[in-house]
A = this chain, B = another copy of it.
Amino acid sequence: MQPHKRVIDAGIGGHDGTETMVKRTSFEGDACPIARSLEAIGDWWSLLIIREALFGLRRFGEFQSKLGMAKNILAVRLRALVDHGILATAPASDGSAYSEYVLTPKGRGAFPILVALRQWSEEFDDHPEEIATILVDRAKGRPVKKLEMRAEDGRLLTPADTMLKPRPAPRRRSD
């Protein structure tokens, strides 16, 4: 559970190593899957980039102008998302020699997270009148149903109906 720290000591010189240089907590390698998700997309911009990518944006400039973010930050984020296998760079699409950023299945798999965030805002925001859009079923134009947690057999579950269990040991062949 304890997040460990990312030590950046480059070890360039032969110094004695008393300088700790420990900053910015990392959740990489943490056993909690929520922390692991946050390690990949738990920053201010990544989920918004994914949101725009789900809406079809692909080019650096499109993300930059749509999100209004600094280009250096965007570059860092896109690289990180590619490193995490959430985006992939595709060589082209419209014939030009530029490359594009497209969502991988892992990236598209983040959609429920975005929907959960959206619905939380819709339900609990202090100023819901400022929310400009609603997510609707394309066929009917009606709002999407609220995400609900269900058991394998379909029973509706509240948080109190759930618990955490240690992950079963990985199954090994002929054992």
Contact = CB atoms under 8 A, between A and B. Distances in A.
Interface in A42-91: 42-44, 47-48, 51, 54, 66-69, 85
A148 to B, nearest CB: 8
A6 interface: no
Contacts of A1: 66-68
SS class, residues of chain A in contact with chain B = mixed
A7 interface: no
B132 A167 contact: yes
Contact of A120 (B43, B110, B153): B110
A116 B38 contact: no
A106 B134 contact: no
Contacts of A147: 112, 116, 147-149
B149 A33 contact: no
Contacts of A113: 113, 116-117, 120
Interface string A139-170: 11111110111111111010111111111101
